[in-house]
Amino acid sequence: MNEQPRSVELTAIPAMPRMLLAAATTRKKSRTEPVFKPLVIRARGIRAEAAKLAKFCRVCGFDEGGPLPLTYPHIMAFPLHMQLMLAPEFPFTPMGAVHVRNDIQQQRSLGADESLDFEVRLGSTEQVEKGYEVDIVTEVSAGGELVWRDLSVMLIRKHGSGVKKPAKARSEGEAFSESLQWHLDANLGRQYAAASGDYNPIHLYPLTAKLMGFRRQIVHGMWSKSRCVAHLLPAAFEGAASVNVAFKLPVFLPGSVTLVYNREQSDAAFELRDSSGVKPHLAGELTWGS
């Protein structure tokens, strides 16, 4: 018998400082066979904060004054993701969780001052070689109509099976016709944190990143995705769109990255690679207008 999910109803998005403090201090009992229980968190009547939205547009390269950027509802929902992972239904603490895939679909453009209803829930879970992959599903509605959806796949690096999946057949890969480079400053993680509220220490300073096992700070995966979308999606476009990415190698700061892509009339395939254009940091597909 399927267990009915516990439902949490909110009238505001939780403050990120409180969520981050809870994430840093919460301890959960480690279990070799963790149990994930169903949970739904809803927040109704939410509007984007103009100042934070403007910061986000500037740091990611979106034009200001238009509809919400395609990736921005994910940023608005991030505190709800944290609340879900802090709940007793989620058997692991959120610290150390790795974002490995993110798929976004919007049915239409969302107004910057539009009242939105958010629903976040725990989706499917799978034990993999290095831990557990957990789906977090976010749906955004306006006036009772589903207008935006996000699937975030998080890797919890505990109690992995140790069993590798069969390797996929190697392919030559897609040849990309366009490329450009971006230089990323050492403070980019702090700039994006101020816009998004995601102050995970791995993104801030060399010392805080080293405490979490990285040689120096790394850029947020959702910055990389948003920056690619800002470049590839036509500036004047408003309508249905989707963007799916897999996060691969981390981007260390400071540094340079290379965006390679093919852009057609209504879609683009792209990868974000290292400065030499070889090692992949992110791979994705973007479609619009259909």
Contact call for residues 6 and 39 (beta carbons, < 8 A): yes
pLDDT score, position 26: 80
Is residue 5 very low, low, confident or very high in pLDDT (cuts 50, 70, 90)? Answer: confident
55-87: burial string, b at 16+ Cβ within 10 Å, e else: bbbebbebeeeebbbbbbbbbbbbbbbbbbbbe
Between these two residues, 268 and 18, which has the higher pLDDT value? 268
pLDDT for the residue 174: 64
Confidence (pLDDT) at 2: 64
User: For 236-242, what is the mean pLDDT?
Assistant: 92
CA atoms within 13 A of residue 245's CA, in its CB half-sphere: 27
* Between 109 and 3, residue with greater pLDDT: 109
- Write the pLDDT tens digit of every residue in 268-283: 999 999 999 999 999 9
97 versus 113: the higher-pLDDT residue is 113
Q: Is the pLDDT of residue 170 over 50?
A: no
CB contact at 8 A, 229 and 69: yes
pLDDT in the model for residue 25: 80
The confidence score (pLDDT) of residue 194 equals 93
55 pLDDT more than 70: yes
Helix extents (H) in 35-162 = 50-60, 72-86
Judging by beta carbons within 10 Å of its beta carbon (0-12, 13-18, 19+), is residue 1 exposed, middle or buried?
exposed
pTM for the predicted model, two decimal places: 0.91
CA R_g for the chain: 19
Confidence band, pLDDT 50/70/90 cuts, at residue 1: very low
User: What band does 167 get if pLDDT is binned at 50, 70 and 90?
Assistant: low
Q: What is the model's pLDDT at position 235?
A: 81
Measure the CA–CA gap between 76 and 231, rounded to whole angstroms: 21
pLDDT score of 126: 84
Average pLDDT over residues 153-171: 66
Give residue-wise pLDDT tens across range 197-219: 888 888 999 999 998 888 999 99
Distance CA 196, CA 191 (A): 9
For the chain, percent of residues with pLDDT exceeding 90:
71
Residue ranges and CATH numbers for the domains of the chain are: 6-288 (3.10.129.10)
Does residue 159 register a pLDDT over 60? no
